[in-house]
């Protein structure tokens, strides 16, 4: 193949590509794929202001014309404020003219809420608005002059498995409550504005938590609502951010599960123990706001005093006994019996109540020494008798409240009391002989 032939083919190829580009340009001139529809709201830049109206560049093949009659609908201040190169929202009125679009600034201003909704849809911004009504499908909220709709499936209060009645009751309780929401659908033609609490909640809580942690200080006392219970503690909503009360900080006494102290929904005061801004964690305490029972222990208890206590824990060296909520004493294994005891669990059990004698007291170190063998037989019997009498009296009172016949129980009570008196006398004689 000769060089001239190659050059001719190259020229033909270039000419063909040029023709294609021209045809494509002509085609694009004739077909504007970004052509708006009547009713669309766009943003344009003012490129001309005259008596014939305002020309707006919309980034299309055709500019938009705002007619004088539309400008006359604006307030004088708004009209005077229009200037070259300003960006303005416009409402598409007519697309039928081949050289330009007829647009309206006035109608766009009337649709600012739709514009704002569209902007929030694109930005993901969260808004907080009150619930003003509800229907079977969800709740209604205000959005400027518009009304937005939050479907039931996008409400965090509504759980799966609820029947229709429960759903209606729950939504009625949301009236006037302010919800964090995110716009998820904007359809102005159908006048459809849909929002979601579920989509907003997580993001809103994270932002609120950062804000709260910045505002709170260690040592602050704040009010919150119990939002959840776990084996290890209780979560408290402080107004958008949850803090944790560890189970050891719920009360001065031993707590087996948080439900013994609080329940979900309770409003409580809490003390800020610590703030971790990096991990966004808030540690709380309830017991720091309650009187420490040890502060009065030295006034209430003294050596040689008899006290009642419940065995809470058995350890290798004895047992811990609670003599009042928050005050535990140690019953050492050597104080269980005059005989040698190798395993405390063979002698006493958790949950049992015993009469004990205080043998040592150190309120500053929060320590009380207790003894079971230091209680005399007479003291034990008198205590046991008194407990039986109290239990019988409680049983009789309960029976009276129920309207039942308690004559037999009363007779048994008197008989038990007499037997106990005889037993006390017998033990006293034995001790005197010893």
The tens place of each residue's pLDDT in the chain, 434 residues long, gives 554 555 566 566 556 555 555 555 554 444 454 678 888 888 899 999 999 999 999 988 889 999 999 999 888 888 899 999 999 989 899 998 888 899 999 888 878 888 889 999 999 899 999 999 998 889 999 998 789 999 998 998 777 677 888 888 888 889 999 999 999 999 988 889 999 999 888 777 777 788 888 888 899 999 999 999 999 999 999 987 889 999 999 998 888 899 999 999 899 999 999 988 888 889 999 999 988 888 888 888 999 999 999 999 999 999 999 998 889 999 999 999 888 888 998 889 999 999 999 999 998 888 999 999 999 999 989 999 988 888 888 887 777 766 654 444 444 444 545 444 544 444 444 344 34
> Global pTM?
0.48
Neighbour-count burial of 134, counting CB atoms closer than 10 A to its CB (0-12 exposed, 13-18 middle, 19+ buried): buried
Specify the pLDDT at position 22.
Answer: 59
Specify the pLDDT at position 5.
Answer: 58
Cα–Cα dist 413/399, whole Å: 14
Specify the pLDDT at position 26.
Answer: 53
In whole angstroms, what separates CA 322 from the centre of its chain?
35
Sign for the pseudo-dihedral over CA of 99, 101, 102, 105: negative
Cα–Cα dist 116/351, whole Å: 65
Specify the pLDDT at position 8.
Answer: 62
Q: What is the DSSP-derived secondary structure letter of residue 387?
A: H
Specify the pLDDT at position 28.
Answer: 45
Between helices 407-433 and 377-401, what is the axis angle to 10°?
Answer: 170
Strands 306-315 and 318-324: antiparallel
Cα–Cα dist 242/149, whole Å: 28
Strands 63-66 and 100-104: parallel
Is the CB of residue 369 less than 8 Å from the CB of residue 359? yes
Query: What would the two tokens of residue 363 be?
Result: 């309120």
Specify the pLDDT at position 304.
Answer: 93
Is the CB of residue 36 less than 8 Å from the CB of residue 73? no
Is the CB of residue 225 less than 8 Å from the CB of residue 236? yes
Place of tokens 């709380």: 284
Is the CB of residue 277 less than 8 Å from the CB of residue 268? no
Specify the pLDDT at position 101.
Answer: 93
Specify the pLDDT at position 232.
Answer: 94
Specify the pLDDT at position 67.
Answer: 94
């Amino acid at each position: 193949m000769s060089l001239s032939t190659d050059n001719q083919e190259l020229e033909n190829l270039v000419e063909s590509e040029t023709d294609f580009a021209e045809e494509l340009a002509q085609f694009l001139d004739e077909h504007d794929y970004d052509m708006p529809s009547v009713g669309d709201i766009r943003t344009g830049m003012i490129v001309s202001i005259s008596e014939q109206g305002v020309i707006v560049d919309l980034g299309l093949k055709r500019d938009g014309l705002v007619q004088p009659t539309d400008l006359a609908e604006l307030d004088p201040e708004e009209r005077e404020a229009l200037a070259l190169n300003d960006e303005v929202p416009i409402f598409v009125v007519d697309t039928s003219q081949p050289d330009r679009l007829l647009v309206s600034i006035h109608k766009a201003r009337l649709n600012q809420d739709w514009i704002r909704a569209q902007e929030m849809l694109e930005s993901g911004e969260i808004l907080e608005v009150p619930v003003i009504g509800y229907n079977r499908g969800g709740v209604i909220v205000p959005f400027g002059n518009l009304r937005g709709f939050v479907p039931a499936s996008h409400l965090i209060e509504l759980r799966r498995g609820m029947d229709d009645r429960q759903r209606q009751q729950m939504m009625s309780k949301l009236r006037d409550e302010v919800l964090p929401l995110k716009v998820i659908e904007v359809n102005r033609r159908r006048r459809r504005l849909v929002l979601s609490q579920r989509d907003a909640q997580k993001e809103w809580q994270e932002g609120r938590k950062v804000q709260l942690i910045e505002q709170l200080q260690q040592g602050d006392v704040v009010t919150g609502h119990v939002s959840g219970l776990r084996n290890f503690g209780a979560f408290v909503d402080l107004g958008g951010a949850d803090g944790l009360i560890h189970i050891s900080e719920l009360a001065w006494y031993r707590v087996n599960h948080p439900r013994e102290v609080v329940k979900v929904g309770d409003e409580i005061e809490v003390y800020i123990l610590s703030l971790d801004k990096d991990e966004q964690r808030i540690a709380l305490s309830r017991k720091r706001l309650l009187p420490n029972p040890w502060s009065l222990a030295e006034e209430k208890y003294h050596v040689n005093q008899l006290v009642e206590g419940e065995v809470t824990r058995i350890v290798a060296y004895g047992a811990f006994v609670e003599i009042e909520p928050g005050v535990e004493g140690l019953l050492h294994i050597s104080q269980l019996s005059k005989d040698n005891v190798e395993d405390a669990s063979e002698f006493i059990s958790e949950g049992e109540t015993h009469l004990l004698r205080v043998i040592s007291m150190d309120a500053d170190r929060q320590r009380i020494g207790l003894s079971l063998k230091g209680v005399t037989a007479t003291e034990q019997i008198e205590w046991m008798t008194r407990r039986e009498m109290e239990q019988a009296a409680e049983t009789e009172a309960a029976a009276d409240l129920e309207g039942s016949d308690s004559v037999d129980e009363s007779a048994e009570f008197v008989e038990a009391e007499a037997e106990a008196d005889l037993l006390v006398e017998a033990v006293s004689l034995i001790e005197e002989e010893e």
